[in-house]
Amino acid sequence: MTLKHDPSMLLAALRAALGEDCVRAPLADDAPELRDYRRRYQGRALALLLPRDTAQVSTLLRFCFERRIGVVPQGGNTSYNGGATPDGSGTQVLVSLRRMNRIRAVDAANFSLTAEAGCTLQAVQDAAEAAQRFFPLSLGSQQSCQIGGNLATNAGGLNVLRFGMMRELTLGIEAVLPDGSVLDGLTGLRKDNTGYDLKSLLIGSEGTLGIITAATLKLWPAQRSSATALLAIETPAAAIRLLSVLREHVGERLTSFELMPHDAVELVRTQVPEVRMPFTPTPPCLVLCELTSAAIEPLDELLQAALLAPNAQADILDAVLARSEAERMALWQMRESIPEAQRRHGPSFKHDVSVPLDAIPSFMQRVSDWVLQSAPESVLICYGHAGDGNLHCNLSARPGADMATFKARESAVQSFIHDLVMQFRGSISAEHGIGQSKLIELQRRASPVKLALMAQLKAAIDPRGIMNPGKLLPDLSGQ
Ligand X SMILES: Cc1cc2nc3c(=O)[nH]c(=O)nc-3n(C[C@H](O)[C@H](O)[C@H](O)COP(=O)(O)OP(=O)(O)OC[C@H]3O[C@@H](n4cnc5c(N)ncnc54)[C@H](O)[C@@H]3O)c2cc1C
**Which residue lies nearest ligand X, judged by its C-beta?**
149
Residue span binding ligand X (CB under 6 A) among the ranges 43-51, 76-84, 256-264, 414-422: 76-84
Least distance in angstroms from the C-beta of 457 to ligand X: 15
Give whichever of 261 and 469 is closer to ligand X, judged by the CB atom: 469
Give whichever of 119 and 302 is closer to ligand X, judged by the CB atom: 119
Site string for ligand X, 293-332 (x = CB under 6 A): ----------------------------------------
Residue 86 as a binder of ligand X (CB under 6 A): the answer is no
Site string for ligand X, 13-52 (x = CB under 6 A): ------------------------x---------------
Indicate which single residue of 77, 223, 228, 414 sits in contact with ligand X (rule: CB under 6 A): 77
Residue 436 as a binder of ligand X (CB under 6 A): the answer is no
Residue 153 as a binder of ligand X (CB under 6 A): the answer is yes
Least distance in angstroms from the C-beta of 205 to ligand X: 7
Indicate which single residue of 43, 51, 86, 148 sits in contact with ligand X (rule: CB under 6 A): 148
Considering only residues 88 to 107 of the shown chain, the ones binding ligand X according to CB under 6 A are 97
Residue 127 as a binder of ligand X (CB under 6 A): the answer is no
Give whichever of 43 and 261 is closer to ligand X, judged by the CB atom: 43
Least distance in angstroms from the C-beta of 80 to ligand X: 5
Give whichever of 148 and 283 is closer to ligand X, judged by the CB atom: 148
Indicate which single residue of 178, 339, 469, 470 sits in contact with ligand X (rule: CB under 6 A): 339
Determine the size of the site formed for ligand X (CB under 6 A).
37
Residue 261 as a binder of ligand X (CB under 6 A): the answer is no
Residue span binding ligand X (CB under 6 A) among the ranges 4-12, 41-49, 136-144, 406-414: 136-144
Give whichever of 61 and 371 is closer to ligand X, judged by the CB atom: 61
Residue 117 as a binder of ligand X (CB under 6 A): the answer is yes
Write out the chain in H/E/C secondary structure.
CCCCCCHHHHHHHHHHHHCHHHEECCCCCCCHHHECCCCCCECCCCEEECCCCHHHHHHHHHHHHHHCCCEEEECCCCCCCCCCCCCCCCCCEEEECCCCCCEEEEECCCCEEEEECCCEHHHHHHHHHHCCEECCCECCCCCCCEHHHHHHHCCCECCHHHHCCHHHHEEEEEEECCCCCEEEECCCCCCCCCCCCHHHHHCCCCCCCCEEEEEEEECEECCCEEEEEEEEECCHHHHHHHHHHHHHHHHHHEEEEEEEEHHHHHHHHHHCCCCCCCCCCCCCEEEEEEEEECCCCCHHHHHHHHHHCHHHHCCEEEEEECCCHHHHHHHHHHHHCHHHHHHHHCCEECCEEECCHHHHHHHHHHHHHHHHHHCCCEEEEEEECHHHCEEEEEEEECCCCCHHHHHHCHHHHHHHHHHHHHHCCCECCCCCCCCCCCHHHHHHHCCHHHHHHHHHHHHHHCCCCCECCCCCCCCCCCC
- The contact set with ligand X (CB under 6 A) reads 37, 72-80, 83-84, 97, 117, 139-141, 145-146, 148-150, 152-153, 155-157, 206-207, 211-212, 339, 431-432, 435, 468, 471
